[in-house]
Structure 1
Amino acid sequence: MVNFYERSIKERFQGIRTFSRGELYNFYLDYEPDLKASTFGWRVYDLRQKGIIRIVSKGVYTLSSKPQYMPNLSEKGGKIARLFLRKLSGSDYCISETAWLNELSTHQTSFSAIILEIEKDLLESAFFFLKTEIKDLYLQPSEKEMKIYVLEKEEPVIMKPLISRSPIQKKKDKNQTINIPHLEKLLVDIYCERQIYFFYSGAELKNIFNNAFDRYAINISRLQNYAKRRGKAPEIEEFISQELAASI
Structure 2
Amino acid sequence: MHLENYDQIILQVLKFFAEKYWPYWPEDLAVLFSPNQEAFINELITDYASDPKMMRLVFDVIGHAFPERKSDYLRQLLKINHDFEIFRQLNLVKAKFFGSIESLIPWKEQRIQDWKAIEEVFAGLRPSTKFFKHRDFVKKQIDWLKRDIEEEKHPNTRPKVIRADTLPEFTPILTPELKHLYRQIKEQFPFLDFAIWTTRWLNHWVEHLAGKFYTLVEVEGDHEEAHAVFSFLKSKEEYPEVFLDPDAKEIENYLGYTQDTLIVRNLREDAPIVRHLIPIASLEKILVNIFCEPILFAMYQEEELENIYVNVFTNYQLDEQKMIQYAESYNQANEIQQFIYQTHKLINTK
Could you tell me the TM-score, scaled by structure 2's length? 0.49
Given candidates 228, 231, 244, the residue that maps to 1:128 is: 231
Amino acid at match of 2:327: A
Structure 1 distance, partners of 2:198, 2:164, is 29
Instruction: Say whether 1:198 aligns with 2:298.
Output: yes
| 1:234 counterpart residue number | 334
| 2:268 counterpart residue number | 163
Structure 2 distance, partners of 1:238, 1:222, is 15
Structure 2 distance, partners of 1:190, 1:61, is 22
Given candidates 211, 220, 229, the residue that maps to 2:311 is: 211
Q: Is the CA contact (8 Å cut-off) linking 1:185 and 1:223 kept in structure 2?
A: yes
Unaligned runs of 5+ in 2: 1-160
- 2:275 counterpart SS class: strand
User: Which structure features the higher share of strand residues?
Assistant: 1
- 2:186 counterpart SS class: helix
Report the CA distance between 1:211 and its aligned residue: 0.7
Instruction: Say whether 1:141 aligns with 2:246.
Output: yes
Q: Is the CA contact (8 Å cut-off) linking 1:117 and 1:159 kept in structure 2?
A: yes
Structure 2 distance, partners of 1:90, 1:76, is 22
Report the CA distance between 1:132 and its aligned residue: 1.2
Report the CA distance between 1:166 and its aligned residue: 1.2
Unaligned runs of 5+ in 1: 1-59, 173-177
Paired residues for 1:1-248 under 5 Å: 62=163, 64-121=165-222, 122-133=225-236, 134-172=239-277, 178-245=278-345
Q: Comparing both chains, which one has the higher relative contact order based on Cα–Cα distances under 8 Å and sequence gaps of 6 or more? A: 1
Tell me the C-alpha RMSD between the 2 structures.
2.1
User: Which structure features the higher share of helix residues?
Assistant: 2
Structure 2 distance, partners of 1:140, 1:105, is 25
Identity, in percent, stands at 30
Number of aligned residue pairs = 183
Report the CA distance between 1:246 and its aligned residue: 8.1
Structure 1 distance, partners of 2:203, 2:162, is 28
